């Protein structure tokens, strides 16, 4: 790393405590700070990134006249297809950023994409992540363990971890739950972060007495249902907090101890909720190598701007319902969000180990089940039909298919609904 770049990083790191406190205490200051960042981002994207320049020109947008978040709503919305349509150099500015870190998204929808960010942006992501963990009680001498995709394990240690603070241990989500449980017990972390589907499996195999340090569990990467949360809290005897993030953008929102929605890291991300689709559209408030301006995550959620009793001034995402491309599509075009599927007690009714819904055509689903020895097809059919009528739709047809196992995404995630439409 060149000297000038190192110096920039050091200055950014030294400023960051102010970056936290200055804007945290005063809502007006926070808004001014955010607007300033927005202007920087939009102008930077226009000047340095070809794809944005063409996008704004085509839409007739003068980037120098975007002043606040009202102006932002006039800009076009982009999604993954925007990043897919061009080579990386047209989506990125390498000007003055030094070495870029690239990250490939998991491709759970069959398409994997390469995203890049600078060391400076990485540092900011680490800091907002740390801020959330610290608000949830993590101390500098404590250990944070993450069950994640094998790719995350290759990332190496961040500057704080290199000097022995906020130790972080990884274990691959790819391995057997028994093996994950043994690794977790060996490390005995204070904070354990994991996909809820893995936590559900760990509930049955982990020995709670071997985890005296554990004070909190973070559920991330998939939708956390009420039932899953209760099961995990009962099994581990500690509270569960939900995090919402995207690999390409970092950790966007986290749940405080009020457990009533997730606070958006409002100083680094601006989030809009689309009126009809409830899709969440994110702007990264950092003029970074690869800007994100009005990026549609395709995740559905509801924003909550009411004050939170915890005192954090950041608005909340009340609920993330899951990806809109995982919605079940009915024959008449109606959409059923994937979260609703979790109300149907597939595994309870059928004594199955695991399940997955696959949509083959509109109005018709296939339910994959991994049966146990006590599985009996005839008794479960009527119960599933009743639940589907009640929670999803009486018009939804289904078939049941017995399988040996449910395949996970490349990142290790287990999705309850996969659309093959």
Q: Which of 310, 377, 390, 397 binds Zn ion (CB under 5 A)?
A: 310
Q: Are 412 and 148 in contact (CB under 8 A)?
A: yes
* Closest CB 194 distance from Zn ion, rounded Å: 22
Q: How far is the CB of 225 from Zn ion (least distance, A)?
A: 21
> Rounded to the nearest whole angstrom, what is the least distance from the CB of residue 309 to Zn ion in the complex?
7
User: b/e for 32-58, b at 16 or more Cβ within 10 A?
Assistant: ebbbebbbebbebbbebbebbeebbee
- Whether 223 and 248 have beta carbons less than 8 Å apart is answered as no
Smaller CB distance to Zn ion: residue 294 or 316? 316
Residue closer to Zn ion (CB basis): 257 or 325: 257
Identify whether the C-beta of residue 162 lies closer than 8 Å to the C-beta of residue 140. no
Which CB atom, from 160 or from 318, has the smaller least distance to Zn ion? 318
The window from 113-121, 189-197, 312-320, 339-347 that contacts Zn ion (CB under 5 A) reads: 312-320
Distance from C-alpha of 221 to C-alpha of 1, rounded to nearest angstrom: 32
Cβ count near 24 (within 10 Å): 17
- Nearest approach in angstroms of CB 313 to Zn ion is 9
End-to-end CA gap in the chain: 47
Is residue 152 at the binding interface for Zn ion, with CB under 5 A as the rule?
no
Ramachandran region of residue 60, left (φ > 0), alpha (ψ -120 to 50) or beta?
Answer: left
Contacting residues for 245 by C-beta, under 8 A, at least 6 apart: 220, 221, 251, 252, 253
Site string for Zn ion, 219-258 (x = CB under 5 A): -------------------------------------x-x
Question: In the bound complex, what is the minimum distance in angstroms from residue 266's beta carbon to Zn ion?
Answer: 12
Contacts with 329 (C-beta within 8 Å, 6 or more apart), sequence order: 335, 359, 362, 363, 419, 421
CB of residue 303 vs Zn ion: minimum separation in angstroms?
14
Q: Which two tokens stand for residue 148?
A: 């994640």
Q: What are phi and psi of 269, to 5 degrees?
A: -130, 135
The nearer residue to Zn ion, 127 or 256, going by C-beta atoms, is 256
308 binds Zn ion (CB under 5 A): yes
Calpha distance 206→195 (Å, rounded) = 15
Compute CA 201 distance to the chain's CA centroid, rounded to the nearest angstrom. 20
Q: In 3D, which of 396, 326, 403, 392 has the Cα closest to residue 358? A: 326
* Residues from 337 through 356 that contact Zn ion (CB under 5 A): none
Number of amino acids touching Zn ion (CB under 5 A): 5
- From the list 171-179, 288-296, 307-315, 361-369, the region that binds Zn ion by CB under 5 A is 307-315
Q: How far is the CB of 201 from Zn ion (least distance, A)?
A: 30
In the complex with Zn ion, the residue whose CB is nearer, 132 or 357, is: 132
Rule CB under 5 A: say whether 312 interacts with Zn ion: yes
Q: Does residue 132 belong to the site contacting Zn ion (CB under 5 A)?
A: no
- C-beta of residue 410 within 8 angstroms of C-beta of residue 106: yes
- Whichever of 113 and 308 has its CB closer to Zn ion, that residue is 308
- Interaction with Zn ion in 251-270: which residues (CB under 5 A)? 256, 258
User: What is the nearest approach in angstroms of Zn ion to the Cβ of residue 380?
Assistant: 41
Which positions lie near Zn ion, rule CB under 5 A? 256, 258, 308, 310, 312
């Amino acid at each position: 790393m060149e000297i000038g770049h190192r110096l920039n990083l050091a200055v950014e790191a030294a400023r960051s405590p102010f970056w936290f406190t200055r804007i945290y205490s005063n809502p007006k200051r926070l808004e001014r700070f955010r607007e300033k960042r927005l202007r920087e981002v939009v102008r930077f994207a226009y000047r340095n990134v070809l794809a944005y320049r063409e996008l704004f020109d085509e839409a007739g947008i003068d980037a120098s006249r975007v002043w606040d978040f009202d102006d932002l709503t006039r800009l076009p919305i982009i999604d993954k297809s925007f990043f897919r349509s061009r080579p990386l150099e047209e989506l990125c500015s390498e000007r003055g950023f030094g070495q870029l870190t690239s990250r490939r998204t998991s491709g759970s929808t069959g398409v994997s994409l390469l995203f890049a960010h600078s060391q400076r942006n990485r540092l900011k992501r680490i800091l907002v992540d740390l801020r959330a963990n610290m608000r949830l009680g993590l101390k500098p001498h404590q250990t944070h363990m993450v069950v994640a995709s094998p790719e995350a394990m290759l990332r190496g240690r961040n500057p704080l971890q290199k000097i022995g603070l906020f130790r972080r241990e990884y274990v691959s989500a790819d391995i057997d739950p028994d093996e994950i449980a043994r690794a977790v017990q060996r490390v005995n972390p204070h904070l354990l972060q994991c996909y809820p589907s893995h936590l559900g499996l760990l509930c049955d195999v982990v020995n709670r007495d071997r985890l005296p340090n554990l004070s909190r569990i973070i559920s991330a990467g998939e939708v956390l249902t009420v039932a899953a949360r209760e099961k995990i809290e009962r099994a581990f005897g500690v509270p569960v907090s939900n995090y919402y993030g995207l690999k390409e953008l970092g950790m966007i929102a986290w749940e405080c101890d009020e457990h009533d929605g997730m606070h958006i890291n409002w100083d680094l991300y601006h989030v809009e909720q689309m009126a009809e689709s409830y899709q969440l559209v994110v702007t990264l408030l950092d003029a970074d190598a690869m800007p994100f301006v009005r990026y549609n995550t395709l995740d559905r959620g509801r924003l909550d701007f009411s004050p939170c009793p915890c005192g954090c001034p950041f608005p909340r995402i009340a609920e993330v319902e899951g990806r809109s491309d995982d919605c079940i599509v009915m024959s008449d075009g109606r959409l059923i969000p994937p979260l609703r599927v979790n109300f149907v007690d597939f595994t309870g009714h059928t004594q199955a180990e695991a399940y997955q819904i696959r949509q083959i055509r509109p109005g018709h689903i296939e339910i994959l089940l991994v049966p146990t020895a006590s599985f009996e097809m005839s008794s479960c059919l009527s119960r599933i039909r009743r639940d589907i009528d009640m929670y999803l739709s009486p018009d939804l047809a289904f078939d049941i298919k017995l399988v040996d196992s449910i395949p996970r995404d490349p990142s290790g995630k287990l999705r309850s609904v996969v659309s093959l439409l």
